């Protein structure tokens, strides 16, 4: 009797193996295929990134092509871009900000005496009166040599200074044709602040101030009080 039961159980076990063995094998085969597919996707992922990178290089080349071929930067275009970016609301910082007058004394690096500068929020780039301009090279880079003075002041010293050449700017004068001006980078001191900014070289003999400070530098300074002058040394904060 026990032998018959054992025999039946063996037969039943064989039947179960015949039925479920293929199912287990198929499941294992499917799992293996899934793992192989995942590994293949991981290996192919860097290739997709590498294919996407050339588009970035193409964009950078397009940006280079967009630069003016003659190297002349239009100040009106730069000012328009600044106006668009300035239209975005920005948070007001709680840090104290120094207040300056609409006219201040500045000391340009290389000079012994201060110049009177007009702080003009209506001007984009700063400007300085320059005479006898001369372009030259130093260590493979372009520099400009020129004379600075205050033409409206009698006996104003004429000092020759040198500064790195930055670019050529196209300026449109009201009611006149546009003109090109050299742009240099100058270091100067205003009150206790030591700054460095770009200045166009210009004939300002018919202007009240030989130096004009534009917005690109003013935004690094602080606030301007249009009703007062020479506040830099007072260190007024608000």
Task: Report the predicted TM-score, pTM, of the whole model to 2 decimal places.
Answer: 0.66
pLDDT of residue 67: 44
Could you tell me if 233 and 101 are in contact, meaning their C-beta atoms sit under 8 angstroms apart? no
List the domain boundaries for the chain: 1-66, 85-234
Provide block-wise average pLDDT over 10 residues at a time, the chain (238 residues): 54 55 55 57 41 37 44 70 67 84 95 94 94 96 96 92 95 77 96 95 94 94 94 92
Reduced to 3 states, what is the DSSP secondary structure of residue 59?
helix
C-alpha 159/C-alpha 45 separation (Å) is 64
For residue 74, give the nearest of 183, 189, 212, 1 by alpha carbon. 183
Summary count for the chain: helices (H), strands (E): 3, 12
For residue 229, give the nearest of 47, 65, 103 by alpha carbon. 103
C-alpha 226/C-alpha 224 separation (Å) is 6
CATH topology of domain 85-234: Cathepsin D, subunit A; domain 1 (2.40.70)
Could you tell me if 185 and 167 are in contact, meaning their C-beta atoms sit under 8 angstroms apart? no
pLDDT of residue 73: 76
Could you tell me if 96 and 237 are in contact, meaning their C-beta atoms sit under 8 angstroms apart? yes
pLDDT of residue 94: 80
pLDDT of residue 26: 57
The DSSP element (H or E) to which 71 belongs, if any, is: none
């Amino acid at each position: 009797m026990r032998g018959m039961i054992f025999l039946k159980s063996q037969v039943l076990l064989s039947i179960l193996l015949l039925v479920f063995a293929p199912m287990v094998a198929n499941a294992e085969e499917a799992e293996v295929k899934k793992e192989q597919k995942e590994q293949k996707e991981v290996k192919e992922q860097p290739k997709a990134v590498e294919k996407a990178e050339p588009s970035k290089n193409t964009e950078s080349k397009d940006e280079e092509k967009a630069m003016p071929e003659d190297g002349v930067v239009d100040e009106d275009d730069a000012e328009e871009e600044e106006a668009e970016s300035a239209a975005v609301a920005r948070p007001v910082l709680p840090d104290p900000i120094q207040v300056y007058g609409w006219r201040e004394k500045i000391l340009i690096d290389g000079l012994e005496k201060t110049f009177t500068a007009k702080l003009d929020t209506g001007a984009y780039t700063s400007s300085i009166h320059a005479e006898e301009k001369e372009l030259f090279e130093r260590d493979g880079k372009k520099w400009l040599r020129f004379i600075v003075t205050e033409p409206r002041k009698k006996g104003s010293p004429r000092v020759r200074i040198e500064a790195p050449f930055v670019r050529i700017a196209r300026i449109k004068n009201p009611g006149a044709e546009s003109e090109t001006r050299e742009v240099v980078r100058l270091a100067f001191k205003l009150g206790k602040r030591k700054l460095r900014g770009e200045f166009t070289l210009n004939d300002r003999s018919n202007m009240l101030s030989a130096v004009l400070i534009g917005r690109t530098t003013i935004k690094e300074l602080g606030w301007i009080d249009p009703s007062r002058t020479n506040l830099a040394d007072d260190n007024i904060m608000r």
